[in-house]
Amino acid sequence: MVTLVAIIAALSLIAYNTITIFVIQPIGALPEGRTIIMRKLENSQFIDSADAMCERRVGNVNLICRAVTLGSVIKNEDDILMKLPYSEFLYLRSTEGVTYSSPSSKK
């Protein structure tokens, strides 16, 4: 039993350090949104989104930052392991509970 717990803990630690759950909020180009399981990018967190990355990098969410961030994620098609439906729960986890309905706005 202890061995099983150790194996599960080791696999969880490996996953936490090597993958990102990237959430794409519903936007005009992708109205249904998307959750992507992918290999971890250089500056990504375990649960992340374009809006959260923009907030960390430039201090706000704007259309240019969001587009550049999404573009850099999507261009790495080989790094995408799985595509899932949008999860608002995960999006809110990535943004620490803040919803960005349109660039440069917080709700």
Domain spans in the chain, listed from the N-terminal domain onward: 2-94
- Token pair 């943004």 in the structure block, residue: 95
Local confidence band at 106 (pLDDT 50, 70, 90 cut-offs)? low
Cβ-contact 19, 39 below 8 angstroms: yes
| % pLDDT > 90, the chain | 54
Q: What is the pLDDT of residue 23?
A: 96
- Token pair 């936007």 in the structure block, residue: 27
- Whether the per-residue pLDDT at 102 is higher than 80: the answer is no
The helix (run of H) or strand (run of E) holding residue 91 is helix 88-94
Structure tokens belonging to residue 30: 């992708």
| % pLDDT > 70, the chain | 94
Structure tokens belonging to residue 91: 């999006």
Phi, psi at 64, each rounded to 5°: -65, -50
What pLDDT digit, counting tens, does each position of 54-82 carry?
999 999 999 899 999 999 888 878 889 99
| DSSP assignment letter at 96 | T
Count other Cβ atoms within 10 Å, centred on residue 12.
10
